[in-house]
């Protein structure tokens, strides 16, 4: 802004007119680029009050840090007409308390031009990987019948009852329903039915009403295997809650159901269910389910179904990538410690689209971790145990698992700008030889806001009748945030794409996820109904290979895998992913609980 001497009255009128400093950002700009110096003439106008928390920067380099999530102060930048010229720059910042008002401080209104969301576009996400390392504008919800009293079973609660229907999900605003999971016990037979009745409404019109199997297994595109599935199980034993023995069956659908203004899911009977919804920002243009031109999307349905059937997301593009192969020899360690061996090093910009390992020695997986360091960072951002961090030891998903010929693979893309080093770190006492293959897209075109893959491994045990809850005195509203197995507790901005674990306990333990400023239960937007339910199973774990989930063990012998592929779990400032130690609030667990987990996310 040009420096001019003004009278007090002129300054006062100028302040009034500039209390709201508006800068509209074009369709090609994003929220991230809105914070860069693309409006140099706005500096020195009024201070720009930001949504970022205010705090000291860390010693390591960061891109677009969002600051602490707690505290009253929010950052302001850029100086104002009242300040000296040296303050009129983006790097100049301090903080204001949100309850205060100042005559020289405003804010920026950002006009986001979101790409139109279509059914065909959602199908493409289900068979590709490029969206995983791009920023996401949605927010992920899980609706279910979880006990609002912190108890079990998690099927008796709902949002409300309407004309005899138990409404489990009622989501307003534009969005896409990305997963529907519901089991139906044999006890329904005593009522003269094999399946419970469900009702699905899209934009205030009934999409379906009737026995659940008729919706999930219609035999017509898109409601066909593998996008929708029905599974059966006869466990031969009752659950911890003494529920009905005998044949169990459950249904899962990943068919995307886009809606413009409202989605409702309801059921007549008291049944378990999980409904996952990708909530889109207001103003996003959405092709409603009712507007889909089915003759135009049949090929997209068939393409997605083919990739999900083969469960090989690289098959259509692997010929374009450079294959690097190496046999890594890990020496024996006699005195403890660890030994680090470089698998491969690359120059960027590039993307590692796939990493896989194979060995003839089953014991070689134990005590070996893959570490990935990119772009001159001081430490690895991916730290994944080969034993359980690559998914199931026998089963498969689209991105993580073990192939039929014995390769343990990770097909989550790893983009980098300048350089990348992949290493194996061994803490094993025995020597081992492990074959490695990497598939790299060289000279890749990366967006300015490209995100990096991260992973974190963790382990925890709660011994029944020995251990105590971390904070046993807390009320229910705070209990699950502070108590439980913490698979991930991270501050930053990104989205979670995969969760894996070895698990031993009763499967009724639920996950409770707290995103950004969420701290209280049940106001947080993601609560589970049982460990196996997250992995598209029911009444315990059984062997399973499927595109979005795999595994089959609650005795610490097999890895359980869940992908959040078509609806990554987004967070802006923080995420805490907890599991219950006990399935009843405040009551010690009847069995020991043991978790060893890996979480993958982009940031």
Which residues does 514 contact at the CB level (< 8 Å), separation at least 6? 481, 524, 574, 575, 576, 578
Bridge partners for 147 per DSSP: none
Same domain, 567 and 519: yes
Same domain, 274 and 331: no
Where a domain ends, among 442, 469, 500? 442
113 assigned to some structural domain = no
Same domain, 131 and 275: yes
Q: pLDDT category, 62, cuts 50, 70, 90?
A: low
Q: Which two tokens stand for residue 388?
A: 């359980």
492: left (phi over 0), alpha (psi -120 to 50) or beta: left
Distance, first Cα to last Cα, the chain: 35
Backbone angles phi, psi at 294, to 5 degrees: -65, -30
Which residues does 189 contact at the CB level (< 8 Å), separation at least 6? none
504 assigned to some structural domain = yes
Q: Give a three-class secondary structure readout of 211-278.
A: EHHHHHCCCCCCCCCCCEEEEEECCCCCCCCCCCCCCEEEEEECCCEEECCEEEEEECCCCCCEEEEE
Nearest to 531 by CA among 557, 545, 512: 512
Q: pLDDT category, 243, cuts 50, 70, 90?
A: very low
3-state helix, strand, coil in the chain (%, to 5): 15, 35, 50
Same domain, 470 and 537: yes
571 assigned to some structural domain = yes
Where a domain ends, among 442, 469, 497? 442
Same domain, 291 and 149: yes
447 assigned to some structural domain = no
96 assigned to some structural domain = yes
Task: Give the pLDDT score at 245.
Answer: 45
pLDDT of residue 428 exceeding 90, the answer is no
2 assigned to some structural domain = no
Same domain, 88 and 132: no
Where a domain ends, among 383, 415, 442? 442
**What confidence tens digit (pLDDT) does each residue in 23-37 have?**
333 333 333 333 444
Report strand pairing: 494-504 vs 228-233: unpaired
Task: Give the pLDDT score at 481.
Answer: 96
Computed over every residue of the chain, the mean pLDDT equals: 85
Of these ranges, 128-142, 180-194, 216-230, the one predicted with the greatest mean pLDDT is 128-142
Secondary structure E strands in 412-559? 414-416, 419-426, 432-442, 453-462, 485-491, 494-504, 511-515, 526-527, 544-545, 549-551
Please spell the DSSP secondary structure of 44-92, one letter per residue.
TSSEEEEEEEP-PPPSS--SS----SSSSEEEEES--TTS-GGG-STT-
Q: Which two tokens stand for residue 487?
A: 């698979």
Which helix or strand (DSSP H or E) is residue 351 part of? Answer: strand 350-358
Task: Give the pLDDT score at 9.
Answer: 39
Same domain, 215 and 356: no
Count how many domains the chain has.
3
Q: pLDDT category, 186, cuts 50, 70, 90?
A: low
Report strand pairing: 197-202 vs 205-211: antiparallel
Same domain, 283 and 380: no
Bridge partners for 461 per DSSP: 594
**What confidence tens digit (pLDDT) does each residue in 450-479 have?**
999 999 999 999 999 899 998 999 999 999
Nearest to 117 by CA among 307, 296, 259, 227: 259
565 assigned to some structural domain = yes
Same domain, 29 and 167: no
Same domain, 340 and 436: yes
Same domain, 224 and 294: yes
Same domain, 187 and 89: no
Answer yes or no: are the C-beta atoms of 166 and 273 closer than 8 Å. no
Determine the structural domain holding residue 50 and report its residue range: 8-106
Q: What is the CATH number of the domain that holds 162?
A: 2.60.120.1390
- At residue 49's C-alpha, the angle toward residues 43 and 54, to 5°, is 115
Cα–Cα distance for residue pair 12/19, rounded to 1 Å: 11
């Amino acid at each position: 802004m040009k420096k001019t001497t003004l009278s007090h009255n002129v300054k006062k009128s100028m302040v009034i007119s500039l209390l709201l400093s508006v800068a509209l950002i074009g369709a090609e700009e994003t929220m991230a680029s809105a914070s860069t110096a693309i409006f140099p003439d706005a500096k020195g106008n009024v201070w720009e009050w930001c949504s970022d928390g205010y705090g000291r920067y860390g010693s390591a380099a960061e891109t677009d840090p969002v600051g602490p999530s707690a505290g009253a102060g929010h950052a302001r930048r850029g100086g104002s007409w009242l300040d000296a010229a040296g303050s009129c720059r983006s790097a100049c910042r301090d903080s204001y308390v949100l309850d205060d008002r100042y005559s020289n401080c405003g804010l920026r209104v950002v006009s986001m031009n979101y790409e139109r969301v279509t059914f065909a576009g959602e199908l493409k996400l289900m068979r590709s990987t490029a969206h995983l390392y791009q920023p996401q504008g949605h927010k992920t919800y899980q609706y279910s019948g979880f006990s609002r009293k912190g108890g079990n079973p998690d099927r008796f609660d709902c949002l409300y009852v309407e004309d005899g229907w138990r409404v489990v999900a009622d989501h307003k605003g534009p969005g896409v329903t990305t997963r529907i999971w519901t089991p139906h016990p044999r006890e329904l037979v005593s009522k003269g039915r094999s399946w419970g009745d469900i009702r699905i409404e899209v934009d205030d019109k009934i999409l379906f009403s009737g026995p659940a199997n008729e919706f999930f297994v219609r035999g017509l595109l898109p409601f066909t295997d593998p996008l929708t599935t029905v599974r059966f199980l006869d466990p031969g034993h009752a659950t911890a809650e003494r529920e009905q023995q005998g044949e169990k069956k459950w249904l899962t659908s990943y068919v995307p159901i886009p809606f413009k203004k409202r989605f409702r899911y309801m059921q007549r009977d008291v049944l378990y269910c999980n409904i996952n919804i990708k909530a889109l920002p207001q103003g996003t243009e959405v092709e409603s389910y009712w507007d889909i031109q089915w003759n135009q999307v049949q090929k997209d349905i068939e393409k997605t179904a083919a990739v999900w059937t083969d469960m090989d997301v690289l098959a259509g593009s692997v010929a374009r990538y450079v294959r690097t192969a190496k046999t890594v020899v890990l020496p024996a360690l006699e005195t403890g410690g660890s030994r680090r061996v470089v698998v491969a090093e690359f120059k960027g910009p590039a993307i590692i689209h796939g990493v896989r390992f194979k060995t003839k020695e089953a014991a070689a997986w134990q005590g070996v971790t893959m570490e990935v360091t990119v772009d001159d960072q001081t430490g690895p951002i991916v730290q994944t145990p080969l034993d359980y961090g690559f998914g199931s030891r026998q089963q498969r998903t689209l991105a993580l698992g073990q192939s039929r010929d014995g390769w343990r693979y990770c097909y989550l893309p790893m983009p980098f700008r300048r350089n990348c080093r992949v290493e194996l770190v061994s803490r094993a006492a025995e020597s081992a030889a492990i074959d490695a293959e990497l598939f790299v897209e060289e000279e890749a075109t990366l967006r300015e806001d490209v995100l990096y893959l991260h992973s974190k491994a963790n382990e925890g045990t709660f011994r029944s009748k020995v251990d105590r809850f971390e904070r046993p005195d807390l009320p229910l509203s705070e209990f699950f945030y502070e108590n439980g197995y913490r698979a991930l507790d991270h501050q930053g901005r990104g989205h979670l794409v995969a969760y894996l674990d070895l698990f031993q306990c009763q499967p009724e333990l639920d996950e409770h996820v707290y995103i950004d400023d969420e701290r209280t239960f049940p106001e947080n937007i993601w609560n589970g109904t049982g460990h196996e339910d997250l992995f598209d199973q029911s009444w315990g774990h059984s062997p399973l290979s499927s595109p979005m989930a795999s595994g089959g063990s609650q005795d610490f012998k097999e890895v359980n895998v869940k992908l959040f592929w078509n609806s990554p779990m987004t967070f802006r400032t923080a995420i805490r992913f907890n599991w219950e130690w006990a399935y009843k609030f405040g009551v010690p667990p009847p069995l020991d609980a043991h978790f060893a987990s890996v979480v993958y996310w982009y940031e």
